[in-house]
Structure formats: structure tokens, C-alpha cells
Chains A and B, each alone.
Chain A
């Protein structure tokens, strides 16, 4: 047993942070070069500015981030999405997102038009899965608030609902009723407007891969990973909270808020600790995944054990 344990440690140790940073610099140089030569937007490397809130913790290797995914639309095993995406979810463009509900400017917006008015930011966030593992991921995206404001939500917009693409041709996991498709998630409007909440279009300086929720996904770093819905096709401003996909599947296990909370156990496991992918020992889980300073005020006066 211990011999194998040794090999696990070694794998994480060889993934030195400096190497990844070098790689990112190299990619950025490459992208800049391509831009200068062609005058066209670079295909792979995204041009970004440094966003706020980035952690300086060591990044989880790109290979792990892109091969260990919960995306049941592409299979229930965490290795399924990366394996099945190349044969099924081959085209993530063109893409459009329907915006509707309580806002002054509803409509359907193409991916380019959704992104174009904004600067892409680098945001290195911790991600804590409800299954008690975690990663540190360099996202590329736009603050969700900046995007939402363009559609002018009205005073009745108390919540925002997101829906994942439903297309069993491209997402073969939807051929089986593992959960009630399409995947739906939701946030309270103040959570959605919080500067930490990111609409991500890239990862590791490149466009999102299908298994990571291409071409556009949510990232809510103080909540369990399942709140960060992938491959979004609809954003709806609503008066009432949505019945989310996981609440429908197992209401006792998954609540609407899903704030990372070491004090509230999942019915089948403790949330007090987590395994950072690449690390051998478990580490303590922090309230709000370490973002308490930024977000705890959103929940003043709320019983987070009841509103889990």
C-alpha cells in the first residue's frame, strides 16, 4: 500500500507551480505573436487582464482539471466527460444564450456578442466539490454582474436561474434519466451580482473544453462545485428561487444555497475536510471555501444549517 502511496505523492510534487506559470507565459507570448501577425483573434490563447481575488495557491495540474469532471450529461464517471466529449460534444460554437424573465432587455445573444463588450479576466479560484475534493483552477471569465446588468433586471428579479444545454445527441448522458434534465441551477440576485461570481469562458489561458462546460459556464467559488453550472443556454431572472437539478434529485442532500460549510455534513460524509487533488493528506475545509471575508455578509441572520 505504502509503495503506491509514495507514487501518488511523487506525481503531485513534479507538477511545480513555476512550470505552469512558465507555460502560461509561453502561451501568452504565443497568443500575442499570433495576434500581431494575423490581426485576428487567437484561436487557443485568450488575451486577458489580471482580475481581483486570485489565490496564489499552487494550481491543480491542467491534466487533472480537464480529466476529472462531474458533468453527468457526458457520463457519471469523472473520467467519462473527457473521454466522451471528443466524439459527442464536438462543436460548442456557434452558441447562443437566451435571456428572459424579469428584465427590460430580454433576448437571445450569440456567444461573441455576450462576451465582446467585456475584458476577460484571469481568476485563480479554489473549487470545492460537494464530494469532498478540491482544486485550484485558473479560470478566464467575466464578472457575471457585468453581463447581467446589460439586460437590465427589474425590481422583481430576486433570483437568477441558469439552464444547461439539453441535446442527447451531443450530451449522451441525457439519454438516461439519471437526473431530471435539463440541469438547472440558481442564485439569489445578490449572489449572482457578487464580484466573485464569474461567467467563465476559459481555463488555463485557453478556451474551455467541453468537459469543463464549454463554451460558457458559471463559477461560484464559495459554493460547492455543482452550483457552477456548465454549458449555459439560458439565463432567466425570476421572482422565486428555482428548483435546481440536484434539489430535485436528492432534496435531503443538496440545498439551494450549497455554501461550502465544514460545520454542515453531507448525509453520507463529513464536509469538515477535503482532499486537494494532487495532495496526499486531507486538509481542513474553510467556511465559504475560504471566501468568508468577501461573502459571509450575504448571509447575515440566516441559519446556514437549515438553508444548506
Chain B
């Protein structure tokens, strides 16, 4: 499997897969498949996929560690950029379609509505990550600083999930699922780090080095 992931044709295939939601949206839009309130449907659809791509990008590292498929790491940046692309589309559809560039109304909403404040913050925080996604920028920043900067995603993803959660009127099933997945993905990292530190500093009992069994409860 890991060998397969390193094949040259995998990247365009994965790229095309990531475009499927966008294609589906365009197709629905053109065929009237977005229902009676197409603007709201478009907005929600893009928001859902922005969140999903954020979670998918965050899943790469745990998945790589679990499976040992180190080839997965090669697609992480592209998945992150797709998350950014869907976030930008979601933001644009809010500004352009939903609010029709009524900047004063948008400004009031950002200040007044907590879920919009959080959403806007997430968009802003994603920009430096997207800008520094090129190889040249990695070199310029140095791997350490680059990595530190990109840990911002640990803040951005919870902001995104909270943004969705606070927006929902009553049935919180979907945001709760997103939150659970996010907790798992971040929990995995936390446990890995604690375990790493624990072993590094005390280097004793094997009893504390069983993160696999304890991680799902986090």
C-alpha cells in the first residue's frame, strides 16, 4: 500500500477526488438540485466540506503512524490546501451570495454573532498557513519554524467545529460527530506527546506506555 501511495499517478487522482464535492455543487447548482434556497444550500455545503477537509488533513499524521504508510505524508499539504480552498469558497459564498457584499452588515454580524466571529477568526488564521505552503517558504522559514506555525491548525480546526456547532438550531448530531473526530485526532497527538515526554524524562514503567488503548477515550 505504501508503495502504491508513492506512485506518480496518485497525486492527480487524489487531486481529482478532492474536486468531486465542488463538481457536485456546480452540477447541483446548474440542475436546480440545491432546492428552494440554493444560496443557503451552497453555503452549508461548502462549509461542511471545508470542515471535512480540515479533519481529513488532520487525520494524515495519526493514520500514517497507525499504518506505517509514510507515503501518506506527501499528500498532507495538498489536503490542507484543499481545506483552505473550501474555506475560501465558503467565506466567499457568505460574503457574495448570502450578504451580497453588504460590508457594514457583515461587520455587524462578525462583532455580534459569536459563531461568525469564530468562523472569521478561523479564515484569518488559515491565511498564513496557506501562504507558507510552498517548498520555497518551508526553506525560508526553516522546518522548525514552519512546523510551529502550522500547528495553528490545532486552534483553527476547533474554531471551525465550534462555528458549526453554534450555528445549528437544534439537532447537534453533525457538529457533535465532527467534534468527536477532532477530539480523537487531537487526542492522539496529545497522548503521543505525553508518551514521548514521559519516556524521555522518566524512562521507567512500561505501564504508562500504552497509548493505543487509552487514546480513544480522549
Query: How far, in Å, is B201 (CB) from chain A's closest CB?
Result: 46
B207 interfacial contact with A, CB 8 Å? no
- CB–CB A76/B36 < 8 A: no
Q: Which residue of B lies closest to A4 (CB)?
A: B29
| Interface hit among A28-36, A111-119, A275-283 | A275-283
In Å, the complex CA distance between A78 and B35 comes to 9
- CB–CB A64/B93 < 8 A: no
Query: How far, in Å, is A108 (CB) from chain B's closest CB?
Result: 32
B105 interfacial contact with A, CB 8 Å? yes
Q: Which residue of B lies closest to A79 (CB)?
A: B35
A72 interfacial contact with B, CB 8 Å? yes
Of the candidates A11, A65, A72, the one whose C-beta lies within 8 Å of that of B32 is: A11
A90 interfacial contact with B, CB 8 Å? no
In Å, the complex CA distance between A5 and B26 comes to 10
Query: How far, in Å, is B13 (CB) from chain A's closest CB?
Result: 26
Interface residues on A, range: 35 or more
B103 interfacial contact with A, CB 8 Å? no
- CB–CB A275/B105 < 8 A: no
Q: Which residue of B lies closest to A279 (CB)?
A: B39
- Within 8 Å CB of A76, what residues of B? 170-171
Interface residues on B, range: 20 to 34
In Å, the complex CA distance between A72 and B169 comes to 12
- Within 8 Å CB of A67, what residues of B? 35-36
- Within 8 Å CB of B170, what residues of A? 72, 76, 178-179, 249-250
- CB–CB B29/A270 < 8 A: no
In Å, the complex CA distance between A61 and B108 comes to 33
In Å, the complex CA distance between A143 and B23 comes to 48
A306 interfacial contact with B, CB 8 Å? no
Count how many pairs of residues, one from A and one from B, have CB atoms less than 8 Å apart in the complex: 77
B92 interfacial contact with A, CB 8 Å? yes
A291 interfacial contact with B, CB 8 Å? no
- CB–CB B167/A1 < 8 A: no
B97 interfacial contact with A, CB 8 Å? yes
B100 interfacial contact with A, CB 8 Å? yes
In Å, the complex CA distance between A60 and B112 comes to 31
In Å, the complex CA distance between A60 and B35 comes to 13
- Within 8 Å CB of B97, what residues of A? 1, 5
B115 interfacial contact with A, CB 8 Å? yes
A181 interfacial contact with B, CB 8 Å? no
In Å, the complex CA distance between A78 and B37 comes to 10
Question: When each residue 46-73 of chain A gets 1 if its CB lies under 8 Å from chain B and 0 otherwise, what string results?
Answer: 0000000000000011011101100010
Query: Contacts A1-B93, A4-B30 given: A270-B36 contact, CB under 8 Å?
Result: no
Query: How far, in Å, is B206 (CB) from chain A's closest CB?
Result: 45
- Within 8 Å CB of A133, what residues of B? 37, 40
**Interface of chain A: mostly helix, strand, loop or mixed:** loop
In Å, the complex CA distance between A273 and B40 comes to 15
- Within 8 Å CB of A265, what residues of B? 112
Q: Which residue of B lies closest to A265 (CB)?
A: B112
- Within 8 Å CB of B30, what residues of A? 4, 7
In Å, the complex CA distance between A240 and B156 comes to 48
B166 interfacial contact with A, CB 8 Å? yes
Query: How far, in Å, is B193 (CB) from chain A's closest CB?
Result: 36
Query: Contacts A1-B92, A67-B35 given: A269-B113 contact, CB under 8 Å?
Result: yes
- CB–CB B108/A270 < 8 A: yes
- CB–CB B105/A270 < 8 A: yes
- Within 8 Å CB of A270, what residues of B? 105, 108-109, 112
- Within 8 Å CB of A78, what residues of B? 35-37
Query: Contacts A8-B29, A178-B170, A282-B100 given: A275-B39 contact, CB under 8 Å?
Result: yes
Of the candidates A11, A60, A281, the one whose C-beta lies within 8 Å of that of B100 is: A281
- CB–CB B115/A268 < 8 A: yes
Q: Which residue of A lies closest to B30 (CB)?
A: A7
Where the two chains meet, the residues of A that have a C-beta atom closer than 8 Å to any C-beta of B are 1-5, 7-8, 11, 60-61, 63-65, 67-68, 72, 76, 78-79, 131, 133, 178-179, 249-250, 265, 268-270, 272-273, 275, 277-278, 280-282
Q: List 9 A-B contacts (CB under 8 A).
A: A1-B93, A11-B38, A68-B37, A72-B170, A76-B170, A131-B169, A277-B37, A280-B39, A282-B99
The list of the 4 closest CB pairs from A to B, nearest first, reads: A68-B36, A64-B36, A4-B29, A76-B171
Beyond known contacts A4-B26, A76-B170, A78-B36: 19 more, CB 8 A cutoff: A1-B93, A1-B97, A2-B96, A5-B97, A7-B32, A8-B39, A64-B35, A68-B37, A76-B171, A178-B170, A178-B171, A179-B170, A250-B170, A265-B112, A270-B105, A270-B112, A275-B39, A281-B100, A282-B100
